[in-house]
Amino acid sequence: MSGARIRTALAVILAASAAASFVLADAFEESRVSASFLKIGTGARASAMGEAFTAVADDANALLWNPAGLAMVRKVELQVTHNQWLYGMQIEHFCLAIPAGGTWGVSYSLANLGSFAEWQGPGTAEGGTFSVNDQVFTAGYGNIFFADSVSLGATARVITENLGGGVGGQTMSMDIGAMAQPWWVAPGLTVAGVIQNVGGELSGFELPFGARLGIAWRREGLWVPAGSPAPERDEDRRAKRATYPWENQDMQGDMVTLSAESLILKTGRAEFHIGCEYWMTFVALRAGYRYRFPRNDLGGSTGLTLGLGLRGHSFQFDYGFDYAYAPYGALGDASRFSVLVAF
């Protein structure tokens, strides 16, 4: 083999080795993080918007995205979400938000990884099965400060991990969030940030600590003039929050929301998310995209998210249904369903 070919072969080997080392290093860093399901987006609405929800959060799910957004909740809200995740994994979320001197929220999440056969060793099945699951209980509070333009919030979280056979652990963590609406600079603009999963270790590994920075912009009456506002809007201290068309008495108008955010994890991995939501009276169309640096690894349409939302009134109740779809290339597709009741 000629010297040029040898040098070329060595260069290819070195490049491949370097690329493999980066991939392995990234995988190693990810493997050192516990409770990885905490990184899975919660709620069909947020997920359909590409998980660019930090500066949008204005419903009960704000408890899990940005607790400062709890301050935007106008009524008692109960949301239930079913997440049909990859490889049969299922995650259930229950969120309750109660406005009372600010807004208080509680939630319960259960991640069920399924049942597995017991093995003593290669080729020696025990004949029994064991279940693997994670449970999270969260409580938080958010309120508006500083001339009704800045909201702050925090959550406390108890995480329990069950790996079967009496193996598992428990720890606590917290989130701290802020949200600002500089309406005097740009009406409809919101900027926000949150620090997530500040806490201890679980089963000897750190939690997926990370920071999110986001921005969102809302515009009412883009194509269809807005109808008369809900009667409590002018008296409510949350009056500067954009009013969705389905909240208007005569169910008219439309509204568009555009959002973007960056996510930086302690492992060094970074993501960029964008999303949009368009309300036409009581129907919403949503889309988004999540990009993982330095690239999305699963190919195909990985990163794309789509969703649909419906809202309505019935006596003293508001109700809603949301759906989100996200492809994960060779790993399959994930779907989320959320149901909301507010009163």
86 shares a domain with 27: no
Q: How far is CA 187 from the centre of its chain?
A: 25
Q: Residue 9: give the domain boundaries.
A: 1-31
Per-residue pLDDT at 186 exceeds 90 = no
4 shares a domain with 130: no
Per-residue pLDDT at 229 exceeds 60 = no
- Mean pLDDT, residues 189-216: 86
72 shares a domain with 2: no
- Mean pLDDT, residues 236-250: 68
Give the pair of three-digit tokens for residue 228.
């008369």
44 shares a domain with 7: no
Give the pair of three-digit tokens for residue 299.
């190919």
Give the pair of three-digit tokens for residue 104.
């208080």
Per-residue pLDDT at 339 exceeds 80 = yes
Query: 16-68: per-residue pLDDT in tens?
Result: 333 333 333 343 344 456 666 677 778 899 989 999 999 999 999 999 999 99
Mean of all residue pLDDT scores within the chain: 77
Give the pair of three-digit tokens for residue 247.
């909240």
186 shares a domain with 78: yes
pLDDT band (50, 70, 90) for residue 148:
confident
Which of 331, 343, 327, 342 has its CA nearest to residue 47? 327
CATH number for position 196: 2.40.160.40
Lowest mean pLDDT among 11-20, 100-109, 285-294, 322-331: 11-20
175 shares a domain with 108: yes
- Is residue 336 within 8 A of residue 84, CB to CB? The reply is yes
Q: How far apart are CA 80 and CA 95, in angstroms?
A: 6
Name the 3-class secondary structure at 130.
Answer: strand
27 shares a domain with 60: no
72 shares a domain with 170: yes
- Is residue 282 within 8 A of residue 246, CB to CB? The reply is yes
Which of 182, 153, 183 has its CA nearest to residue 73? 153
188 shares a domain with 56: yes
pLDDT at 108: 94
Q: pTM score, two decimals?
A: 0.79
283 shares a domain with 219: yes
pLDDT at 122: 62
The count of structural domains within the chain is 2
